[in-house]
Amino acid sequence: MQANSRQVSSNQPHLHHKLATVVRRHLSTPYRRPPAEHSIRAYDALRDKLEQRPLIVDSFCGTGHSTARLAQQYPDHLVLGIDKSAQRLARHPAGSGDYLLLQADCGDIWQLLLRDELLPQRHYLLYPNPWPKAKHLQRRVHGHGSFPLLLQLGGDIILRSNWQLYVEEFGLAMHLAGRRGSISMVDADPALTLFEQKYRNSGHSLWQFYGAAPPGVAP
């Protein structure tokens, strides 16, 4: 894979000055957008399988490479990859594996999993779009109205990015929500996603937030 990925460019040099205000507002306001019909249909087609084994969710999974690799790492779990782009999922390599891929909005599936009390033991958010312009704070995972759904699902939460500021913002949002964690550089283990491999080959620093499931909370 060619090492030609540019560093993240942003007009925001520090933590967003409205981050705490936005996060607290979302935490105090119920998420009211109902799931789209196409998300409900995709979810319903696989719901029975989701009930069979402990669940790992791979949100914003892109081409699903990470979903397949996580399934190899956790053979006793069912890994669910979610991405809204049919074009990205169509690039998933042909083959079989013990995992599921859904073309749907992540926030929609999070709502449906909560409705059915299908809570993941681990939740991965690997290189979601960082939306680096300051005006797009509320499009980032931690600035979006669906952020409380991610918290309600529980489980260990692992987020990665090649933009350190994004990971720091996510960590602060989690802290504001009472879910402390740690931020570290990603080690040199085999890359989980194509983006991670590309960024590594391009010499980027890769960052991770890890937050353990709340004590006493188990799916």
**Domain ranges, ordered by start, for the chain:** 40-211
Residue 104 has pLDDT above 60, yes or no: yes
Q: Which range has the worst mean pLDDT, 86-95, 169-178, 184-193?
A: 86-95
Q: How far is it, in rounded angstroms, from Cα 60 to Cα 66?
A: 10
Residue 73 has pLDDT above 50, yes or no: yes
Quote the pLDDT of residue 98.
83
| pLDDT bucket at 16, cuts 50 / 70 / 90 | very high
Q: State the CB neighbour count (10 A cutoff) for residue 17.
A: 10
Q: Does domain 40-211 have CATH number 3.40.50.150?
A: yes
Quote the pLDDT of residue 1.
46
Q: How far is it, in rounded angstroms, from Cα 204 to Cα 185?
A: 11
Q: How far is it, in rounded angstroms, from Cα 56 to Cα 169?
A: 24
Note the Cα 162 to chain centre separation in Å: 14
